[in-house]
Structure 1
Amino acid sequence: MFKAIISGVVFFMTMASAVAAIKTENVDYKEGKTNLEGFVAYDDSVKTPRPAVLIIHQWMGLSDNEKMRAQMLAEKGYVAFAVDIYGKGVRPTSPEEAGKLAGQYKNDRKLYRARGQAAFDWLKKNKMVDAKHIVVIGYCFGGTGALELGRAGVPAAGFVSFHGGLSNPTPADAKNFKGPVMIAHGALDKGVNPEVMPFMKEMDENKVDYQFISYANAVHAFTQKGAGNDPSKGVAYNEKADHRSWAHFMDFLNEVAPIKK
């Protein structure tokens, strides 16, 4: 319990009444014969269907970082599902291993889309979810995945990539986007910068509703605290870019999948 003093009157309230009733659960689901394990967060006090956000992880697999974002979104009123692309129990233990795993999916976009589709289908069928207002987001490797689901024609309300790769071996697939796109990009991301102009050309030629936001002084992985603080390495956390991109994402959510008060 904690004590609050208002106009000289003392009130006692439990912590449970002061915060949303956020519940988290591990989720087993499948893509074909492959077992997958995701993570869902939601406000248990809400009894009606609400918008949802599907979160695709970075190259190290589903981690505490995606789970933290899921809980942040649940506190805003969304059902948030942090998905598993690699498979249950498949979690890289080194950058070398992560690079090989991520490369498999970047080189097999059909498989990548199938893994994302399986997660989308699970979320769409969940009774807590307003299926017409699901937004797909991703970080780094997952940012590419979010765009791939859009290119596959998944009927989401929006698609967001945080410092994700923008390359696309089939540019004409951009015509399949069913919702608006937001790109949160590090201005100094040398690995992705060569992909920017082709991406914009792809979007423009297919008349996709998109916004591209570039953050000054930010390199790759600017939302990931585990990336360190040395931009000279090409990957680093940038607190200002992290906070700004999240605020821009909140604006995007309020536009395409708002929470009704």
Structure 2
Amino acid sequence: HPKDAKAFMEQALSEPEKLTARFNAAKTILRDQQYVDDDRIFAVGYCFGGGVVLEQARKGNDLAGVASFHGTLGTNQRAGEGDIDARVLVATGQADPMVPADQVSALVEELTQAGAQFQLLSFPGVQHGFTNPKADDTGKRFELPLAYDKEADLVSWEALMDFIEQP
């Protein structure tokens, strides 16, 4: 339910140190796996998770890259020059009221000033949740501006695969 999701998000964001500790604990578990290349760890997030992975990049967390899909882009602590080591991929819907144009332009400015290597995909007419085939039903059920977009979903997925394959 959106109210539960919002409460979870607000609680998690109110304790950024705890959020980073959980992120790093998960990364440690991943790194302990036999076939994981320690130098090629990527963090991919959708919606709230998209905002989380961007924050980890801003903090200089040791990652090869981060990818955010219809994630929140705003921050209270912008990255400074040289803070972001991870490559960044952002896929967003141009018609997403949850991620307004000013957040997108502020992110581009921030990443540029930080000297980050990044790609931005902005899909015209596409709303929030565009990668989720159940977004239309969820949007109607809870009266939210959610909509699946097959083309944006496919293009953004291919971009992610290319992003990860880059050396």
TM-score by length of 1: 0.58
Q: What's 2:71 paired with?
A: 164
The Cα of 1:174 is off from its aligned counterpart by 6.9
The Cα of 1:173 is off from its aligned counterpart by 5.3
Q: 1:143, 1:164 within 8 Å by CA — same for their partners in 2?
A: yes
Q: What's 2:146 paired with?
A: 235
Q: Which has the higher helix share?
A: 2
Call closer, same or farther: CA 1:109–1:175 in 2, change over 3 Å.
Answer: farther
In the alignment, is residue 131 of structure 1 matched against residue 38 of structure 2? yes
**Aligned letter for 1:134?**
I
User: CA–CA distance in 2 between the matches of 1:224 and 1:113?
Assistant: 26
3-state SS of 1:246 partner: helix
User: CA–CA distance in 2 between the matches of 1:137 and 1:123?
Assistant: 14
Call closer, same or farther: CA 1:224–1:128 in 2, change over 3 Å.
Answer: same
**Aligned letter for 1:196?**
V
Q: Computing the radius of gyration over CA atoms, which structure comes out larger, 1 or 2? A: 1
Please provide the CA RMSD for this pair. Answer: 1.9
Q: 2:79, 2:111 within 8 Å by CA — same for their partners in 1?
A: no
Once the two structures are superposed, residues 114-140 of structure 1 have per-residue CA deviations (whole angstroms, 9 ceiling, x without a partner) of 211111111112222111111111000
User: CA–CA distance in 2 between the matches of 1:173 and 1:126?
Assistant: 33
Q: Which has the higher strand share?
A: 1
3-state SS of 1:171 partner: coil
Q: 2:94 aligns with which of 143, 165, 187?
A: 187
Q: What's 2:121 paired with?
A: 213
Q: Percent identity?
A: 31
In the alignment, is residue 197 of structure 1 matched against residue 108 of structure 2? no
Q: 1:124, 1:131 within 8 Å by CA — same for their partners in 2?
A: yes
Call closer, same or farther: CA 1:124–1:174 in 2, change over 3 Å.
Answer: farther
Call closer, same or farther: CA 1:169–1:130 in 2, change over 3 Å.
Answer: same
Q: How many pairs align?
A: 163
Once the two structures are superposed, residues 169-224 of structure 1 have per-residue CA deviations (whole angstroms, 9 ceiling, x without a partner) of 11135742222100011111122123112111111111111111111221011101
Q: 2:59, 2:83 within 8 Å by CA — same for their partners in 1?
A: yes
User: CA–CA distance in 1 between the matches of 2:10 and 2:43?
Assistant: 21
Q: 2:96, 2:126 within 8 Å by CA — same for their partners in 1?
A: yes
In the alignment, is residue 143 of structure 1 matched against residue 50 of structure 2? yes
Q: 1:250 aligns with which of 137, 157, 161?
A: 161
- 5+ residue gaps, structure 2, are none
The runs of at least 4 consecutive aligned structure 1 residues that moved more than 4 Å come to 229-232
The Cα of 1:100 is off from its aligned counterpart by 0.4
The Cα of 1:168 is off from its aligned counterpart by 1.1
The Cα of 1:107 is off from its aligned counterpart by 3.2
1:19-30 equivalence runs, <5 A: none
User: CA–CA distance in 2 between the matches of 1:175 and 1:113?
Assistant: 20
User: CA–CA distance in 2 between the matches of 1:136 and 1:144?
Assistant: 11
User: CA–CA distance in 1 between the matches of 2:21 and 2:154?
Assistant: 31
